[in-house]
C-alpha cells in the first residue's frame, strides 16, 4: 500500500479545512489536505455568502457576535478580493414594531459593532430596493464574501507554502496505534486506490460530517444538523445587505453578491442520513419568496435563478429544542484531552465568517503537541489575490500588476475587470495579450475567458466543470451554462484529456445545475431551461449518448473478445 508522510493531515476542504491547511503551512509544518470531493463543495459553498458584522447575533448569541465583528475586520484586510464592503441595513417593518431595534442597538454596542440609526427616508436613499413601508433602519458593517474564492485562495497559499492537496480523496479510517492516532487511511475516489497518510496530527475539519471521522475512533458527538434553503435571484436587486430587525427567522437576509442576490434561509432539522440527499421543497420556495419580498418588494417580479440548500454543523451542547437557539460558536475538541486519544483534533460548529479563527484555534492545538513555536500569522498576511487596494480594483482595467498594466491592453474592460475582480493581482497569470486565444470569452454571462479556465486547471487544481465553476463562476450566470458548459468541456478535454472524461463531467455539471433550477421552474427560468434542453439534448444529443453508451456496454458482453483486441490495437497505433 502506498504511504505518504506529513506532520499534519487535515480532513475536509471547506473554508475551515482550507484555513487550517494554510495556517499549518505558514507555520512551517508539512501538511496534506484530503477532500472527498472538491474544495468548498459542502456547507462552505451552500450559504448566503454574507460577511456578517455579527449584528444578526447580538441579541441571541453575544459571543458569536463578538467573534464575527473581529473576523469581519480581519477578512476585509486579508481577503479583499473575496469581499465587497457593501454595509448592511437592519430594517423594521410595521408588523415587527420598533421594540426589537433598541435591544439590537444595545447589543451591537456591547459587541463593539458600530451602528448608525437611519430614518426610513435615509434608508431608502441608501438602498432604493428596500421595502418602502419600513418604519426604521440601522446601518451596520455587513458585507459579502465569495466562499469559493476565499477557500481557493487559502488552498493556493498553502500549496505555495509546500502543502499538498488531495481532492477526490476520502478518509476511510484512522490509523490508531498504542492509543495514538498516527494518520489516516484514504481512498482515491477516482481510481479506488487505498493508501495511507502517516501524520503526527490529524485535524478533522469535516464540519457537518465530523461525526463520521470521530466514529472511526469510536467517539461520538451530538450534532444538530440544520438545513437552510436559499434562492438565487436572476440579477442583483440590492446594493447593501438587507436584514430584518427582529429575532432571527426564515428568509430574513437578502445578500447581494457578484451579479446576483441571495435570499435565505430556512431552518429545518435533518437526520444525519439525509445529508447526501438534500432537496429544496416547494414549501421552502414559497416561504423564501413570500418573506423575502417583504425585504425588497422587487423580488416579486425578479426571476428566480435557482434554489439550493446547505447544512449547518451545529453542535448540541444542551438538549434544548430549536436550532436557532443553539450557538453558532465554534467547537474545537482536542481528543488528547477530552478522550485520552492524542493525535486527533476536531474543529466544527462555527460559520464561514469565523473559518480563520477556527483554523487558528485548531492549529494552535496542533502546534502544542508538535512543539512548533511559530505563531499564527493568518490574521495579518493577505491571501494571494488580495494585494490590490480597493481603489485599484474599482478602476478595473487600469490595474497595474507587477509591471504589467491592464490599462495599456486592448482588452474590453469587462474581460480585464472580471479577471481582476475574481483573482486580484493573480489575474496577471492569465490575462495576457501576447497569446490571443487566452482572452476568448467562453462564458458570456460571467465573462470567463479561456485563459482563466486554463489557469484554474493548471494552478487551482480544477478537474471538472463543477470545480471550474467554483473557481471561476463559469456557468453561474442567468443562462446556467447553456452553451459555455459545452465549450468549457471542450477546453477541459483539450487540456487534461488523460485525467478527465469531458463527457462525464459535462453531463454531471448539467445535472447539478438542473437540481437547483427544477424547484423554481416557471416564467423565464422555464424558457431558459427549455432552450438548454433543445441545445443539449435536441441539438447535441448529450442524453442519448449516455443511452448509447449503455447499449454499448451491453453489446460488449456478447462480443467481448473480438472488440477488446481491436481496441488495443487501435490505441497502440495512435500512441505510435
Partner 1 sequence: MIHECLIVGGGLAGLTAGIRCAEAGLKVAVVSGGESALTFASGSIDVLGSIPGQPVVRRPFDAIDCLAELSPGHPYAKIGREKVFQSLGWFHGQMAEVGLELGLASDCRENQWRITAAGSLRPTWLSQPATKAMPWECFHGDGACLQKVVFVNITGFLDFMPELAMCGLKQHPSFRSVAVEHFNINLPLEHGHGATADTMRAPQLASAMGDRDMDILARVLSERVQDAELVVMPACFDPDLGCNRLQKLRQRTGLNIIDIATLPPSVHGLRLHKALRNRFRALGGFLIPGTEVRHGTVDGDRVMSVSTGEDLLSADHFILASGSFFSKGLQSVKESMSDPCSVQEPVFNLDLHSWADQPKDFSSHQFLAPEGQNFVRSGVALNQSGQPMVAGKGLHNLHVSGAVLGGYDPVQECSGGGVAISTGWQAAENVICQVKGQQV
Site string for partner 1, 515-554 (x = CB under 8 A): ---xxxxxx--xx-xxxxxxxxxxxxxxxxxxxxx-xx--
How far, in Å, CA of 174 to CA of 198, rounded?
Answer: 10
Q: How far is the CB of 492 from partner 1 (least distance, A)?
A: 8
Tell whether residue 567 is a contact of partner 1 (CB under 8 A). Answer: yes
How far, in Å, CA of 467 to CA of 9, rounded?
Answer: 22
Segment near partner 1 (CB under 8 A), from 200-208, 261-269, 366-374, 492-500?
492-500
For the record, the C-alpha cell of 150 comes out as: 476565499
Q: How far is the CB of 571 from partner 1 (least distance, A)?
A: 10
Segment near partner 1 (CB under 8 A), from 17-25, 163-171, 356-364, 502-510?
502-510
Segment near partner 1 (CB under 8 A), from 145-153, 326-334, 466-474, 512-520?
512-520
Contacts of 31 (CB under 8 A, 6+ apart): 6, 7, 8, 9, 10, 21, 24, 25, 158, 162, 163, 164
CB closer to partner 1 out of 386 and 454: 454
Radius of gyration of the chain from its Cα atoms, rounded to whole angstroms: 24
Residue 369, H or E segment: helix 355-370
Segment near partner 1 (CB under 8 A), from 207-215, 229-237, 269-277, 283-291?
283-291
Q: Decide: 202 and 184 in contact? Cβ < 8 Å.
A: yes
Q: How far is the CB of 409 from partner 1 (least distance, A)?
A: 15
CB closer to partner 1 out of 407 and 560: 560
Q: How far is the CB of 443 from partner 1 (least distance, A)?
A: 10
How far, in Å, CA of 189 to CA of 128, rounded?
Answer: 49
Q: To 5 degrees, how large is the angle CA 164–CA 167–CA 170?
A: 110
Residue 51, H or E segment: strand 50-51
Residue 180, H or E segment: strand 180-188
CB closer to partner 1 out of 364 and 537: 537
Tell whether residue 93 is a contact of partner 1 (CB under 8 A). Answer: no
How far, in Å, CA of 362 to CA of 569, rounded?
Answer: 54
Helices assigned H by DSSP within 27-173: 62-78, 99-111, 120-126, 147-160
Q: How far is the CB of 79 from partner 1 (least distance, A)?
A: 32
CB closer to partner 1 out of 221 and 540: 540
Helix (H, G, I), strand (E, B) or coil at 359: helix
Q: To 5 degrees, how large is the angle CA 13–CA 16–CA 22?
A: 80
Q: Which of 113, 150, 289, 416 binds partner 1 (CB under 8 A)?
A: 289
Q: Which of 272, 487, 572, 576 binds partner 1 (CB under 8 A)?
A: 487
Q: Which of 222, 282, 337, 390 binds partner 1 (CB under 8 A)?
A: 282
Could you tell me how many residues of this chain bind partner 1 (CB under 8 A)? 68
Q: To 5 degrees, how large is the angle CA 10–CA 12–CA 17?
A: 65
Tell whether residue 264 is a contact of partner 1 (CB under 8 A). Answer: no
Q: How far is the CB of 134 from partner 1 (least distance, A)?
A: 19
Q: How far is the CB of 572 from partner 1 (least distance, A)?
A: 11
For the record, the C-alpha cell of 245 comes out as: 430587525
Tell whether residue 47 is a contact of partner 1 (CB under 8 A). Answer: no
CB closer to partner 1 out of 82 and 231: 231
CB closer to partner 1 out of 236 and 515: 515
CB closer to partner 1 out of 294 and 351: 294
Q: Decide: 472 and 431 in contact? Cβ < 8 Å.
A: no
* Largest Cα span, the chain: 81
Tell whether residue 514 is a contact of partner 1 (CB under 8 A). Answer: yes
Tell whether residue 173 is a contact of partner 1 (CB under 8 A). Answer: no
Tell whether residue 469 is a contact of partner 1 (CB under 8 A). Answer: no
How far, in Å, CA of 254 to CA of 242, rounded?
Answer: 5
Q: Rounded to 5 degrees, what are φ and ψ at 185?
A: -95, 140
Q: Which of 486, 499, 561, 576 binds partner 1 (CB under 8 A)?
A: 486
List the interface residues with partner 1, window 429-468 (CB under 8 A): 436-437, 439-442, 450
Burial of residue 100 (CB within 10 Å: 0-12, 13-18, 19+) is middle
Tell whether residue 324 is a contact of partner 1 (CB under 8 A). Answer: no
Segment near partner 1 (CB under 8 A), from 224-232, 329-337, 468-476, 561-569?
561-569
CB closer to partner 1 out of 345 and 510: 510
Number of Cβ within a 10 Å radius of residue 387: 15
Q: Decide: 218 and 335 in contact? Cβ < 8 Å.
A: no
Contact footprint for partner 1 (CB under 8 A):
282, 286, 289-290, 293, 300, 436-437, 439-442, 450, 483, 486-487, 489-490, 493-494, 497, 501-503, 506-507, 510-511, 513-514, 518-523, 526-527, 529-549, 551-552, 555, 563, 566-567, 570, 573-574
Amino acid at each position: 500500500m502506498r504511504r505518504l508522510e506529513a506532520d499534519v493531515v487535515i480532513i475536509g476542504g471547506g473554508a475551515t479545512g482550507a484555513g487550517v491547511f494554510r495556517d499549518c503551512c505558514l507555520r512551517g509544518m508539512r501538511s496534506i489536505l484530503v477532500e472527498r470531493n472538491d474544495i468548498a463543495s459542502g456547507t462552505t459553498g451552500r450559504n448566503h455568502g454574507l460577511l456578517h458584522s455579527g449584528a444578526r447575533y447580538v441579541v441571541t448569541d453575544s459571543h458569536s457576535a463578538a467573534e464575527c465583528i473581529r473576523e469581519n475586520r480581519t477578512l476585509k484586510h486579508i481577503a479583499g478580493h473575496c469581499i465587497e464592503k457593501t454595509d448592511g441595513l437592519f430594517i423594521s417593518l410595521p408588523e415587527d414594531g420598533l421594540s426589537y431595534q433598541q435591544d439590537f442597538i444595545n447589543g451591537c454596542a456591547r459587541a463593539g459593532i458600530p451602528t448608525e440609526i437611519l430614518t426610513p427616508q435615509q434608508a431608502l436613499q441608501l438602498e432604493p430596493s428596500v421595502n418602502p413601508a419600513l418604519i426604521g433602519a440601522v446601518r451596520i458593517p455587513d458585507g459579502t464574501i465569495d466562499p469559493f474564492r476565499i477557500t481557493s485562495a487559502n488552498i493556493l497559499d498553502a500549496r505555495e507554502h509546500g502543502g499538498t492537496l488531495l481532492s477526490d480523496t476520502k478518509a476511510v479510517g484512522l490509523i490508531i496505534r498504542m492509543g495514538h492516532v498516527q494518520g489516516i487511511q484514504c481512498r482515491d475516489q477516482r481510481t479506488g486506490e487505498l493508501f495511507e497518510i502517516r501524520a503526527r496530527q490529524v485535524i478533522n475539519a469535516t464540519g457537518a460530517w465530523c461525526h463520521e471521522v470521530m466514529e472511526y475512533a469510536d467517539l461520538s458527538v451530538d450534532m444538530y444538523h440544520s438545513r437552510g434553503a436559499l434562492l438565487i435571484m436572476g440579477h442583483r436587486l440590492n446594493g447593501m445587505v438587507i436584514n430584518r430587525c427582529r429575532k432571527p427567522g426564515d428568509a430574513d437576509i437578502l445578500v447581494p453578491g457578484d451579479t446576483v442576490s441571495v435570499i435565505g434561509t430556512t431552518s429545518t432539522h435533518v437526520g444525519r442520513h439525509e445529508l447526501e440527499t438534500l432537496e429544496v421543497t416547494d414549501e421552502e420556495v414559497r416561504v423564501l419568496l413570500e418573506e423575502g419580498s417583504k425585504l425588497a418588494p422587487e423580488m416579486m417580479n425578479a426571476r428566480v435563478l435557482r434554489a439550493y440548500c446547505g447544512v449547518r454543523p451545529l453542535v448540541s451542547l444542551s438538549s434544548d429544542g430549536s436550532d436557532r437557539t443553539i450557538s453558532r460558536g465554534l467547537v474545537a475538541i482536542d481528543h488528547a484531552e477530552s478522550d485520552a486519544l492524542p493525535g486527533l483534533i476536531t474543529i466544527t460548529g462555527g460559520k464561514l465568517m469565523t473559518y480563520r479563527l477556527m483554523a487558528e484555534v485548531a492549529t494552535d492545538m496542533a502546534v502544542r503537541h508538535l512543539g512548533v513555536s511559530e505563531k499564527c500569522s493568518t490574521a495579518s498576511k493577505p491571501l494571494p489575490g488580495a494585494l490590490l487596494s480597493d481603489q485599484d480594483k474599482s478602476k478595473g482595467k487600469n490595474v497595474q500588476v507587477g509591471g504589467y498594466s491592464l490599462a495599456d491592453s486592448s482588452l474590453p474592460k469587462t474581460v480585464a475587470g472580471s479577471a481582476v475582480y475574481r483573482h486580484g493581482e493573480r489575474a496577471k497569470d492569465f490575462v495576457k495579450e501576447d497569446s490571443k486565444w487566452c482572452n476568448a470569452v467562453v462564458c458570456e454571462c460571467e465573462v470567463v475567458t479561456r485563459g482563466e479556465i486554463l489557469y484554474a486547471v493548471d494552478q487551482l487544481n480544477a478537474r471538472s466543470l463543477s470545480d471550474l465553476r467554483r473557481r471561476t463562476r463559469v456557468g453561474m450566470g442567468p443562462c446556467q451554462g447553456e452553451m459555455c458548459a459545452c465549450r468549457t468541456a471542450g477546453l477541459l478535454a483539450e487540456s487534461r484529456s488523460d485525467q478527465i472524461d469531458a463527457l462525464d463531467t459535462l453531463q454531471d455539471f448539467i445535472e447539478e445545475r438542473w437540481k437547483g433550477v427544477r424547484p423554481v421552474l416557471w416564467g423565464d427560468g422555464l424558457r431558459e431551461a427549455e432552450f438548454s434542453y433543445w441545445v443539449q439534448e435536441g441539438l447535441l444529443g448529450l442524453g442519448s449518448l449516455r443511452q448509447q453508451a449503455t447499449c454499448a456496454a451491453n453489446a460488449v458482453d456478447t462480443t467481448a473478445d473480438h472488440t477488446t483486441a481491436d481496441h488495443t490495437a487501435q490505441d497502440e497505433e495512435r500512441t505510435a
